[in-house]
Amino acid sequence: MKILVIGSGGREHALVWKLAQSKLATKLYCAPGNPGIAQLAECVPIAPTDIPKLADFVQLQCIGLTVVGPEAPLCAGIADYFKARRLRIFGPSQAGAQLEGSKVFSKKFFLKHGVPTGRAEIFTDANAARACVRKWGAPVVVKADGLAAGKGVIVAQTVAEAEQAIADIMEKKVFGAAGDQLIVEECLVGEEASVMALTDGKCFRILAAAQDHKRIGDNDTGPNTGGMGAYSPTPALDKVPPEQIRNIFERTLAGLQTDGIDYRGVLYAGIMLTKDHGPMLLEYNCRFGDPETQVVLPRMDFDLAEACRATADGKLGEMTLAWKPEAAVCVVLASGGYPGDYAKGKVISVLDDAAKLPGVTVFHAGTKAGADGAIVTDGGRVLGVTALGDGIAGAVARAYEAVARIHFDGMQYRRDIAGRALRKR
Ligand code: AMP
Ligand code: GLY
Instruction: Indicate if 274 and 368 belong to the same structural domain.
Output: no
Contact 384/328 with Cβ under 8 angstroms?
no
Cα–ligand 1 centroid distance for 295 (angstroms): 22
Supply the pLDDT for residue 249. 98
- 8-state DSSP, 244: H
Report the alpha-carbon distance of residue 314 to residue 319 in Å, rounded: 11
**pLDDT tens per residue across span 15-32:** 999 999 999 999 999 999
Instruction: Indicate if 160 and 198 belong to the same structural domain.
Output: no
**pLDDT score of 424 more than 80:** no
Supply the pLDDT for residue 211. 97
CATH number at residue 218: 3.30.470.20
Q: What is the mean pLDDT of residues 80-98?
A: 98
Q: Is residue 113 part of a domain?
A: no
Instruction: Indicate if 210 and 268 belong to the same structural domain.
Output: yes
* Ligand 2 atom with minimal separation from the 292 CA: 1
Pocket of ligand 2, candidates 292, 297, 381: which has the most ligand atoms within 8 Å of its Cβ, to mutate? 292
**pLDDT score of 376 more than 80:** yes
**pLDDT score of 354 more than 90:** no
Which residue blocks in 35-170 are alpha helix, DSSP H? Answer: 51-61, 71-75, 78-84, 94-101, 103-112, 126-136, 159-166
Q: Is residue 112 part of a domain?
A: no
Instruction: Indicate if 172 and 137 belong to the same structural domain.
Output: yes
What share of the chain has pLDDT > 70, as a percent?
Answer: 99
Q: Is residue 349 part of a domain?
A: yes
Q: What is the mean pLDDT of residues 394-409?
A: 97
Q: Ramachandran region of residue 86, left (φ > 0), alpha (ψ -120 to 50) or beta?
A: left
Burial group, residue 52, by CB count within 10 angstroms (0-12, 13-18, 19+):
exposed
Other residues' Cβ atoms within 10 Å of the Cβ of residue 64: 18
**pLDDT score of 93 more than 70:** yes
Main-chain phi, psi angles of 349, to 5 degrees: -115, 160
Residue with the bigger pLDDT between 224 and 96: it is: 96
Beta carbon of 285 within 6 Å of any ligand 2 atom = yes
Confidence of residue 356 (pLDDT cuts 50, 70, 90): confident
**pLDDT score of 267 more than 70:** yes
Instruction: Indicate if 279 and 364 belong to the same structural domain.
Output: no
Q: What is the mean pLDDT of residues 148-164?
A: 92
Cα–ligand 1 centroid distance for 97 (angstroms): 18
Structural domain of 141: 125-180
- Among candidate residues 318, 341, 373, the one where a domain is terminated: 318
Cα–ligand 1 centroid distance for 315 (angstroms): 33
Q: Is residue 267 part of a domain?
A: yes
Cα–ligand 2 centroid distance for 127 (angstroms): 32
pTM for the predicted model, two decimal places: 0.97
Beta carbon of 290 within 6 Å of any ligand 2 atom = yes
Q: Is residue 185 part of a domain?
A: no
Cα–ligand 1 centroid distance for 282 (angstroms): 6
CATH number at residue 18: 3.40.50.20
Pocket of ligand 1, candidates 272, 277, 290: which has the most ligand atoms within 8 Å of its Cβ, to mutate? 272
Report the alpha-carbon distance of residue 414 to residue 421 in Å, rounded: 15
**pLDDT tens per residue across span 170-228:** 999 999 999 999 999 999 999 999 999 999 999 999 999 999 999 999 999 999 898 99
Instruction: Indicate if 276 and 337 belong to the same structural domain.
Output: no
Spacing of C-alpha 196 from chain mean position: 9
Confidence of residue 147 (pLDDT cuts 50, 70, 90): confident
Supply the pLDDT for residue 7. 98
CATH number at residue 149: 3.30.1490.20
Max Cα-Cα span within the chain? 62
Q: Is residue 114 part of a domain?
A: no
- Among candidate residues 50, 79, 94, the one where a domain is terminated: 94
Cα–ligand 1 centroid distance for 283 (angstroms): 7
CATH number at residue 372: 3.90.600.10
Instruction: Indicate if 313 and 234 belong to the same structural domain.
Output: yes
**pLDDT tens per residue across span 58-79:** 999 999 999 999 999 999 999 9
Look at strands 89-90 and 65-68 and give their pairing.
parallel
- Among candidate residues 270, 294, 318, the one where a domain is terminated: 318
Instruction: Indicate if 21 and 137 belong to the same structural domain.
Output: no
Residue with the bigger pLDDT between 424 and 99: it is: 99
Cα–ligand 1 centroid distance for 250 (angstroms): 22
Instruction: Indicate if 54 and 33 belong to the same structural domain.
Output: yes
Instruction: Indicate if 89 and 164 belong to the same structural domain.
Output: no
Q: What is the mean pLDDT of residues 383-409?
A: 97
**pLDDT tens per residue across span 279-321:** 999 999 999 999 999 999 999 999 999 999 999 999 999 999 9
Report the alpha-carbon distance of residue 206 to residue 225 in Å, rounded: 26
* Ligand 2 atom with minimal separation from the 287 CA: 4
* Ligand 1 atom with minimal separation from the 186 CA: 19
> Domain count of the chain?
4
Supply the pLDDT for residue 385. 97
Exposure b/e, 404-418, CB count within 10 A at least 16 = b: ebbebeebbbbebbb
Q: Is residue 102 part of a domain?
A: no
Instruction: Indicate if 196 and 305 belong to the same structural domain.
Output: yes
Q: Is residue 174 part of a domain?
A: yes
**pLDDT tens per residue across span 308-319:** 999 999 999 999
Residue with the bigger pLDDT between 68 and 352: it is: 68
Residue with the bigger pLDDT between 151 and 325: it is: 325
Instruction: Indicate if 313 and 213 belong to the same structural domain.
Output: yes
**pLDDT tens per residue across span 239-263:** 999 999 999 999 999 999 999 999 9
Supply the pLDDT for residue 425. 61
